Structure formats: structure tokens, C-alpha cells
């Protein structure tokens, strides 16, 4: 197995000669998912284009039901579910993907990188997931990048399933300079992808790795260098068009190996995934789409 140097790759030419996923060190699958109940969920401002015009239009009871179905889907798939306690003033806290990146470092230690939120109103959320991580045996690495740089956790930094490699989106909510420190903290290479369309403001809105070989991607939202490297590394690239991507097709989440939850509106992508042999759980995340999020970013996978 090849232990690749913890460094940042941005172009195909940066990859070492003969680079292949199968030759990378294995990484264990997540044990479960941290979720945060949507007790305080609401849309009160516009942090991303999907939120425009939605202030005051959230059906809270429906949001509760939709969230409950996602939680149950994780449990049914055999994932352990851990819950954060929602903070009163944090209406976005249900999107707990953004406030940290959890993983395993090169020495096998559970490691947590706290998020550095773009919006002030989301900063208090970070302490809650970091406290959870600390209580659950994670080492917390705070100094992975200069203070002042932004990092929105697992919304932008995504583990390659089963391998010691991270994909790092940047441009709208995360600054690219953080990825050197992210690579060092986990002892893994990071493939950095520039996000080029403000609609797809987190990597998890246009890219989701489903297994070692397969990725769902809306290529128009990623730079051409980025798309080239995605096509070089993944054996199977499932293309998602703009309409499906706006319905959050790429914010599908793995519930367990081979089991994918996706919003029912992204039905073309759901069918495609069924044809490819995945067990697809179709969910309604309509209230959360009003805030620019769906299944993927409503959880933070832990190991
Ligand atoms: N309203 C939230 C925000 O703009 C949504 C976050 C969705 N997260 C994600 N990783 N896509 O911050």
C-alpha cells in the first residue's frame, strides 16, 4: 500500500506517476452520523442563492418530520446516530456537516478539525460539535491554518470512500490555503477542487463520492483542472445535469456501504443510481432545500 505524502494536488500533472486509488492506504468506513434536530431550524437571511425569498416560509412541523425520516433511514441502514443539542439562536445548526471535519489521522487517532464559519451567526455551532468530538475521544486540531482563513468542514472536505484521501472544495465558503494544514493534520493527500459557480457553494452540492470507484458530479460547477482530475481518479463518473443538481442530486448521502439517501425531487439521479445497483432511499428534504441543504449536509460522518 502506498502512503502518499500529505500534500495538495490540484492538477492531473501533480499526481505521482502511476497514481491509483486501489494502491492507496485503506480507510475504515464511518461508524455512524452526528445529526442535529431541527428544533430551531428556520430561514431568516440569505447565505446562499437557494435561501432567497424563503425567509419566513419554513413549515416547522414538516421540517421535523422530514428530519425524522432521515434519522430513521440512518438507523435502519445500521449507522449509529449521535445527536447534538440545538442552540437557540442557531437556525442553520441542522446542517452539521459544515462545522467540523472528522476523520482518522496517519497514527490511527480520531481527529477533529473545527470549522471556521463564513457567517458570524454560524460560529457558535462549532463549539457544540467540537465538544461532542472531544467527549468521544477525538483529538482536536485547531491550528491547522492561519486564523482568519475559512473552512466549512465536511461540506467542503470529503473523504474518498475507503481510502486515505480527501477531496477539498474551495472558493465560496472555504479558502484554498487551509488544505495544506488539513492534509498534514490527517496525514493524507488532498485533491483540491475550485468551485466556479456560486449556486454550488459547497463541494457537497456538486460532488459526492459513493464508493471507491464512483462519484456523482455536476461538472459545470468545478474548474476544468478539477474535472480532469476527478475523471482521472474515479473509474465511474455519474454526470448530473444542472436541473438535477439544483434539486440537490449531489447532496445525496451514503447511509451505509451501497445505500444512498437522495431527495425525491432528484428522481432521474435516483433511478440512475438504482440501475447502477445502489440501494436508493428516496426522501423528502423540501423544507431544508429552502435553506440550500439536503441529506448530505444534515449529518457529519464519524469514525
Ligand atoms: N443555510 C445553510 C448555509 O448557507 C445551508 C448549509 C448547507 N450545507 C452544505 N454543506 N451544503 O450555511
Per-residue pLDDT, 6: 82
- Cα separation, 303 vs 297, in Å, equals 17
- Cα separation, 84 vs 39, in Å, equals 11
Per-residue pLDDT, 258: 97
User: What are the beta bridge partners of residue 167?
Assistant: 158, 191
Instruction: List alpha helices for 112-241, DSSP H.
Output: 123-135, 153-156, 178-186, 224-233
Local confidence band at 18 (pLDDT 50, 70, 90 cut-offs): confident
Give pLDDT tens digits for 37-56. 999 999 999 999 999 999 99
Q: What angle do CA 107, 108, 109 make, to 5 degrees?
A: 95
The Cβ of residue 98 has, within 10 Å, a number of other Cβ atoms equal to 29
Q: What is the mean pLDDT of residues 3-14?
A: 89
Q: What is the mean pLDDT of residues 229-244?
A: 98
| Eight-class DSSP state of 293 | -
The Cβ of residue 58 has, within 10 Å, a number of other Cβ atoms equal to 19
Local confidence band at 2 (pLDDT 50, 70, 90 cut-offs): low
User: What number does the ligand 1 atom closest to the CA of 118 have?
Assistant: 12
Give pLDDT tens digits for 124-176. 999 999 999 999 999 999 999 999 999 999 999 999 999 999 999 999 999 99
Per-residue pLDDT, 9: 97
Residues 6+ apart with CB under 8 A from 147: none
Tell me the whole-structure pTM to 2 decimals: 0.97
| Eight-class DSSP state of 131 | H
Q: Tell me the CA–centroid distance for residue 293 and ligand 1, in Å.
A: 5
Whether the CB-CB separation of 168 and 157 falls below 8 Å is answered with yes
Nearest to 200 by CA among 245, 238, 265: 245
Name the residue of 95, 99, 247 to mutate for ligand 1: max ligand atoms within 8 A of Cβ.
95
Element holding 114 (H helix, E strand): strand 110-114
Does 207 sit in the ligand 1 pocket, CB within 6 Å? Answer: no
Per-residue pLDDT at 1 exceeds 70: no
Q: Tell me the CA–centroid distance for residue 107 and ligand 1, in Å.
A: 32
Domains of the chain: 8-302 (3.75.10.10)
Local confidence band at 184 (pLDDT 50, 70, 90 cut-offs): very high
Can you tell me whether residue 66 is helix, strand or coil? helix
Amino acid at each position: 500500500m502506498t502512503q502518499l505524502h500529505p500534500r495538495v494536488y490540484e492538477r492531473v500533472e501533480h499526481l505521482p506517476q502511476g497514481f491509483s486509488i486501489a494502491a492507496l492506504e485503506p480507510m475504515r468506513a464511518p461508524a455512524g452520523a452526528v445529526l442535529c434536530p431541527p428544533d430551531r431550524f428556520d430561514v431568516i437571511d440569505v447565505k446562499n442563492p437557494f435561501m432567497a425569498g424563503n425567509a419566513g416560509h419554513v413549515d416547522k412541523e414538516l421540517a421535523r418530520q422530514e428530519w425524522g425520516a432521515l434519522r430513521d433511514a440512518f438507523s435502519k441502514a445500521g449507522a449509529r446516530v449521535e445527536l447534538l443539542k440545538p442552540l437557540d439562536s442557531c437556525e442553520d445548526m441542522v446542517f452539521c456537516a459544515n462545522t467540523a471535519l472528522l476523520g482518522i489521522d496517519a497514527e490511527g487517532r480520531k481527529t477533529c478539525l473545527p470549522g471556521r464559519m463564513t457567517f458570524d451567526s454560524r460560529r457558535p455551532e462549532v463549539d457544540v460539535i467540537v465538544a461532542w468530538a472531544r467527549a468521544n475521544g477525538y483529538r482536536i486540531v485547531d491550528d491547522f491554518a492561519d486564523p482568519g482563513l475559512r473552512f466549512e468542514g465536511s461540506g467542503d472536505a470529503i473523504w474518498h470512500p475507503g481510502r486515505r484521501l480527501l477531496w477539498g472544495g474551495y472558493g465560496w465558503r472555504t479558502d484554498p490555503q487551509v488544505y495544506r494544514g488539513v492534509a498534514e493534520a490527517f496525514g493524507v493527500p488532498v485533491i483540491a477542487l475550485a468551485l466556479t459557480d456560486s449556486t454550488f457553494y459547497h463541494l457537497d452540492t456538486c460532488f459526492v463520492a459513493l464508493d471507491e470507484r464512483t462519484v456523482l458530479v455536476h461538472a459545470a460547477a468545478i474548474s476544468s483542472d478539477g474535472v480532469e482530475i476527478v475523471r482521472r481518479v474515479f473509474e465511474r463518473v455519474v454526470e448530473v445535469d444542472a436541473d438535477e443538481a439544483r434539486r440537490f442530486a449531489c447532496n445525496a448521502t451514503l447511509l451505509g456501504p451501497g445505500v444512498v439517501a437522495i431527495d425525491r425531487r432528484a428522481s432521474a439521479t435516483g433511478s440512475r443510481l438504482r440501475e447502477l445497483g445502489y440501494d436508493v432511499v428516496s426522501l423528502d428534504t423540501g423544507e431544508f432545500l429552502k435553506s440550500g441543504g439536503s441529506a448530505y449536509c444534515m449529518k457529519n460522518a464519524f469514525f
